[in-house]
Amino acid sequence: DRQGYAIVPLDLHWNRDHIKATIAIARGKKLHEKRNSAKEKDWQRQQERNFKQ
């Protein structure tokens, strides 16, 4: 029922000997979303390489 979800730490606070954490529950990306993200990252890297040259 809860497969595919992850607990993500959003913020950590240290207060003397205590640690407080703000967390969120997030669902992972689907395969097609991962592909789109990878394409976008590759495109950004390529643009940075071209800009540096």
What pLDDT does 39 receive? 93
Phi, psi of 3 (to 5 degrees): -70, 145
Q: Which residue has the tokens 């992972």?
A: 28
Give the total number of structural domains in the chain: 1
What pLDDT does 10 receive? 95
**pLDDT one digit per residue (tens) for the chain, 53 residues:** 577 788 999 999 998 899 999 999 998 778 888 898 899 999 999 999 998 87
Query: 46, 36, 33, 43: which is closest to 4 by C-alpha?
Result: 33
What pLDDT does 1 receive? 58
d(CA 33, CA 40) in angstroms, rounded, equals 11
What pLDDT does 29 receive? 78
pTM, two decimal places = 0.44
Residue-number span of the structural domain to which 31 is assigned: 5-52
